[in-house]
Amino acid sequence: MISVIVPYRDAAPWIGRCCESLTRQDGDFEFIMINDWSVDDSQDIVEKYIKTDSRFVGLWPVGEGVSAARNMGLVVARGDWITFLDADDEMLPHAYMTMTNAAKSGANIIQFNHLRYYTAIDKLVLKYTNEGGVFTLPDLPVHWFGVWNKLFRADIVWDVRFDESLQYGEDGLFVLECLTKYGNIYHAPKRETTVKHRFDNKSSLSRSKTLSDIVKQLRAYEDFLLRQDNQMMRVAVCREMSRLWDALAGNINK
């Protein structure tokens, strides 16, 4: 079974289409919907799907924020494989077949390319493309730091958690923690996609990061770096920190 962890907060404009994309999935799934303290009608929308599709599970997190919500999902997930989906994204109709075929590779962390939809120009494109194959430290695939474009073996993430102190960049640290156990990511062939990412949510955390968010993320990466003995891991983290420093400089110069 594949567990899909979906945190949502004030997602009424798009959570319905997200849930609808999940109901269209054929295969052995559970959809763990975690309400991250919404004050709009999001939960009412999700409840309709919980009542009509037994694969949906509704939860409230103990803490607050997307990391706390995802961590709760990890605690209750029953699947052999775990993936994540953002509330403003959609799972593609063929996702189950794509995921299960990739799982036959024997890999522990599997990454997929994804389709991005640009609402303003009504265009769907294949985004952040990588060729299929195994990517090792420190030469990780493009967009390695996301979790919603990946499939994780449940037995490698049972003791890994998202950093709840971070508002931004918690995905990358989660992936790095997994890579300390298995230093590579298997990337599915180029045309194998699982997610339709809509680029129309201006309130998305990934599009609303602040200077303080970047500084806090850099400090978290530094802490992670200082705990590493693996030289290749150190190189990978330093490369990511270099990218973050560039982002920090860009924010300062605005």
pLDDT band at 204; cut points 50, 70, 90: low
| Same domain membership, residue 243 and residue 168 | no
pLDDT band at 203; cut points 50, 70, 90: low
Taking the CA of residue 71 as centre, how many other CA atoms within 13 Å lie in the half-sphere pointing to its CB? Answer: 17
What CA–CA distances, in Å, run from 104 to 101, 136, 141, 202, 212?
A: 5, 19, 20, 37, 42
pLDDT digits (tens, 9 = 90+) for 36-68: 999 999 999 999 999 999 999 999 887 789 999
In the chain the beta strands, taken as DSSP E runs, fall at 2-8, 29-35, 56-59, 81-84, 89-91, 109-111, 113-118, 123-127, 133-136, 150-153, 184-187, 193-198
pLDDT digits (tens, 9 = 90+) for 141-194: 998 999 999 999 999 999 999 999 888 889 999 999 999 998 899 999 878 899
| Same domain membership, residue 139 and residue 223 | no
| Same domain membership, residue 108 and residue 202 | yes
| Same domain membership, residue 151 and residue 87 | yes
Q: Give the residue from 115, 122, 121 showing the smallest Cα distance to 93.
A: 115
Q: Over 90: is that where the pLDDT of 118 sits? A: no
| Same domain membership, residue 158 and residue 77 | yes
Q: Over 60: is that where the pLDDT of 206 sits? A: no
Give the total number of structural domains in the chain: 2
For 205-231, b/e burial (b = at least 16 CB within 10 A) is beeebeeebbebbbebbeebbeeeeee
Q: Residue 219's domain spans which residues?
A: 209-254
- What percent of the chain is predicted at pLDDT more than 90? 69
Q: What is the CATH number of the domain that holds 21?
A: 3.90.550.10
Predicted confidence at residue 205, as pLDDT, reads: 47
Both structure tokens of 13: 């404009």
- What percent of the chain is predicted at pLDDT more than 70? 93
| Same domain membership, residue 189 and residue 243 | no
| Same domain membership, residue 242 and residue 138 | no
214 vs 220, more confident: 220
pTM of the model: 0.91
| Same domain membership, residue 102 and residue 66 | yes
- Three-class DSSP category at 235: helix
pLDDT band at 18; cut points 50, 70, 90: very high
Within its chain, how far is the Cα of 247 from the centroid?
Answer: 21
Work out whether strand 184-187 and strand 133-136 pair parallel, antiparallel, or are unpaired: antiparallel
| Same domain membership, residue 225 and residue 167 | no
Of 93-97, 145-149, 199-203, which gets the smallest average pLDDT?
199-203
Q: Over 70: is that where the pLDDT of 252 sits? A: no
| Same domain membership, residue 221 and residue 200 | no
| Same domain membership, residue 87 and residue 40 | yes
| Same domain membership, residue 227 and residue 177 | no
